[in-house]
Chain A
Amino acid sequence: MTAAQPIFKPLGLLAELTHRCPLGCPYCSNPLALDRDELDTATWARVFREAAGLGVLQVHLSGGEPAARRDLAEITAAAHGAGLYTNLITSAVGLTPKRFAALADAGLDHVQISIQDHAPDSADHIAGYAGAYERKRMLAAEVVRHKIPLTVNAVIHRANIDHVADMVELAIELGASRVEIAHVQYYGWALKNRAALMPTRAQVERAVAAVEALRARHQGRIVIDAVVPDYYARFPKPCVGGWGRRSLNVTPAGKVLPCHAAESIPDLEFWSVRERSLAEIWENSPAFRAFRGTDWMQEPCASCPRRFEDFGGCRCQAFALTGDARATDPVCQFSPKHALVAALAEERREEPYVYRRLEREHASADTAL
């Protein structure tokens, strides 16, 4: 197939500054194999300038925990200087009031803080880090004090889904203008912990009703964003707004991915910002071309009128659940494998979390070097 694919202008860039993180959240979206090698400050500055030139409007500074980078203020200033809207996605651990003030001065536009639950003991247990909850409260107060808008990202799964209303109340108390009811998506570490994290259908239905009521009660006070979780949906999410269409992701080591989980699909060839410009990668990288547009689709997607809305769903999920990255995302009710999703949602087990615990391995490996 040599037909020209339409090239869109990306809107957002997810900058994974590091895979280091003090927390151990069992649903972490980072890959199981983490980058040890990290781009330096100057390379990130170049990436931001190239991104702005390509049409990117917003950069999401993420990780791992971005505050694990000592040069976070310089990186923020570089993104702001390139004309990008800067969004910090953080666990809050490692950001003192002084460090945060430097980020505010560097031109930070928005902060997103994740919360694990509404109560400290449960939240810290899920995060695998004692004291995380209290640090989130402290950072939220700093963000509000600097008059920077705050989003609270409430990551939802079986252990906390019944506390959705309390988590929204906490977000309001923290001064957030927006809260994301972010149902866990099962990639990376979350896929490993799926049986321990998966909510029941009854829980999901209660949560959806609770969110509706909360929206009505708090209109004008806080914006509540929520979507139906994948395994209980009838149609797939329009993952990353379409492959290679709206956004791109740069890993700590500089590989450019169409989405943060793309490395889970075998045989995709990713190009690196160390060797090529972002524009060249966006346009011609084999990984970006693999599922751009609709030419790659099979039935039932290929003739489906929804293909321009949801783009066949998520390629990583299609591969993870069916073994074929070109298959219809099995979340879709038209997928021949749709029954599999319901069966997997029933595989729930009360078992301990496998925490994302690679920080120590990194530290010991570093020491050994």
Chain B
Amino acid sequence: MTETSQAATIAPDAKPRLPRGVRLVHNEAHGGLVLLAPERVFKPDPIAVEILKRCTGEATFAAIVDDLANTYSAPRERILADASALLRSLADKRLLEL
């Protein structure tokens, strides 16, 4: 946990995207969206889903945080912290490109 906790910051102009081999797909049998990755399957919670859906490689991280804060009328700092932690943890697992 050494580097993860202190480095949970994402550059505001980074354009996060799911690389080839990582896909967010809808699946009835498993009750909604699942994240498919090399030899793993993740069931993202509703907040993670909203963040991941926006990781298209086009929007900047700053724009994604703004969009989420507006959409959910939530404090920007809170969204920033949640989204940074999620994206950093996925990037460390090589499941996200920044």
Which residue of A57, A109, A216, A222 is within 8 Å of B21 (Cβ)?
A109
Which residue of A12, A110, A147, A222 is within 8 Å of B38 (Cβ)?
A110
List A contacts of B2 (CB < 8 A).
216
Q: Report if A55 contacts B (CB, 8 A).
A: yes
How many residue pairs at the A-B interface have CB separations less than 8 Å?
62
Known: A148-B20, A216-B2. A55 touches B38 (CB 8 A): no
List A contacts of B25 (CB < 8 A).
57, 83
Q: Report if A85 contacts B (CB, 8 A).
A: yes
Q: Report if B63 contacts A (CB, 8 A).
A: no
Closest to A84 in B: B36
Stretch at the interface among B50-58, B67-75, B76-84, B87-95: B87-95
List B contacts of A9 (CB < 8 A).
29-30
Q: Report if A220 contacts B (CB, 8 A).
A: yes
Whole-angstrom CA separation of A9 from B29 in the bound complex: 7
| Cβ contact within 8 Å between A147 and B19 | yes
Q: Report if A223 contacts B (CB, 8 A).
A: yes
| Cβ contact within 8 Å between B21 and A149 | yes
Q: Report if A194 contacts B (CB, 8 A).
A: no
* A334 CB to nearest chain B CB (Å): 30
Q: Report if B45 contacts A (CB, 8 A).
A: no
Whole-angstrom CA separation of A11 from B30 in the bound complex: 9
Chain B contact-residue range equals: 20 to 34
Whole-angstrom CA separation of A219 from B4 in the bound complex: 9
Q: Report if A178 contacts B (CB, 8 A).
A: yes
* A109 CB to nearest chain B CB (Å): 5
Closest to A108 in B: B21
Q: Report if A54 contacts B (CB, 8 A).
A: yes
Whole-angstrom CA separation of A109 from B39 in the bound complex: 10
Give A residues with C-beta under 8 Å from B. Answer: 9, 11-12, 54-55, 57-58, 60, 83, 85, 87, 109-110, 112, 147-149, 151, 177-178, 216, 219-220, 222-223
> With A148-B20, A149-B94, A220-B94 given, can you name 16 additional A-B contacts, CB distance below 8 Å?
A9-B29, A54-B29, A57-B30, A58-B36, A58-B39, A60-B39, A109-B20, A109-B21, A110-B39, A112-B38, A112-B39, A147-B20, A149-B19, A149-B22, A151-B39, A178-B94
27 pairs from A and B in contact (CB 8 Å cutoff): A11-B41, A55-B29, A55-B30, A57-B27, A57-B36, A58-B36, A58-B41, A60-B39, A85-B23, A85-B36, A87-B38, A109-B21, A109-B23, A109-B36, A110-B21, A112-B38, A112-B39, A149-B19, A149-B38, A177-B38, A177-B94, A178-B38, A178-B94, A216-B2, A219-B3, A220-B91, A220-B94
